[in-house]
């Protein structure tokens, strides 16, 4: 069965500083990987996704993520954080062999200091 | 505007009562999903449907039921058998179909918060 781990429950970062959110997955074949962002009381918005090809993926709002097969990781990065980036971030893995279902990590809540 | 709507935004359930959460999409997506979100636990899959008149249990289906009579609608009923229903419920859809190519980008509705009185 596939699984996703987001080791950091909370991260606090100063506005203008860089941000990196960690995501590790477990799956026997090549996974399909996603990052979503959730503002309080809202649904999830897709930031970016990796299906195949270039392992460095660009997303919306200035985010990028890098797929590293050897480390089973798909970490999310942003060079300079804005106050509006304060939210909860979820990593997810999908697999066709698993009935096209997504498995989500527990989420990382990001707080941005002025 | 294409998208997914969920209603109501807040729902209160009394002891022993069944309640139904609505999810409608006008994206012409084949597949629809229901997730439950609890603090610190991410999202857990309750039920999903890849085509009209067909659905499968997810990881935590006990105490829930669904129907998929129309492509655009996937209502979730929280039955009295669900002893801890307080949570945030999210509906999603994707263009995945049984015969189609893999397309796992799921798009989410705004959610319904269910509270027990």
Query: What is the three-state SS of B34-103?
Result: EEEECCCCCEEEEEEEEECCEEEECCCCCCEEECCCECCECCEEECCCCCCCCEEEEEEEECCCCCCCCC
A94/B104 Cβ within 8 A: yes
pLDDT band at A97 (very low <50, low <70, confident <90, very high): low
Asked if the C-beta of B40 comes within 8 angstroms of chain A's C-beta atoms, the answer is: yes
Could you read off the pLDDT of B55-114 as tens digits, one per residue?
A: 999 999 999 999 999 999 999 999 998 989 999 999 999 886 554 445 568 899 999 999
Asked if the C-beta of A106 comes within 8 angstroms of chain B's C-beta atoms, the answer is: yes
**Residue B100, pLDDT score:** 47
The answer to whether B94 touches B104, Cβ cutoff 8 Å, is yes
């Amino acid at each position: 069965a596939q699984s996703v781990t987001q080791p950091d429950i909370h991260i606090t970062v100063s506005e203008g500083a860089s941000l990196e959110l960690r995501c590790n997955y477990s799956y026997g074949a090549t996974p399909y990987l996603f990052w979503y962002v959730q503002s309080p009381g809202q649904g999830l918005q897709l930031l970016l996704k990796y299906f195949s090809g270039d392992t460095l993926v660009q997303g919306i709002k200035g985010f990028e993520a890098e797929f590293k097969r050897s480390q089973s990781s798909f970490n999310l990065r942003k060079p300079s954080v804005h106050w509006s980036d304060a939210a909860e971030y979820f990593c997810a893995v999908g697999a066709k062999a698993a009935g096209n279902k997504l498995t989500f990590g527990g989420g990382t809540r990001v707080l941005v200091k002025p | 505007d294409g998208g997914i709507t969920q209603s109501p935004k807040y729902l209160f359930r009394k002891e022993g009562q069944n309640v139904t959460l609505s999810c409608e999409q006008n994206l012409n997506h084949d597949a629809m999903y229901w997730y439950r979100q609890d603090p610190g636990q991410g999202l857990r899959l309750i039920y999903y449907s890849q085509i009209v008149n067909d659905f499968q249990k997810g990881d935590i289906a006990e105490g829930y039921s669904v129907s998929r009579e129309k492509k655009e609608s996937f209502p979730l009923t929280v039955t009295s058998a669900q002893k801890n229903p307080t949570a945030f419920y999210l509906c999603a859809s994707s263009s995945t179909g049984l015969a189609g190519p893999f397309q796992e980008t799921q798009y989410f509705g705004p959610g319904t918060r269910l509270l027990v009185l």
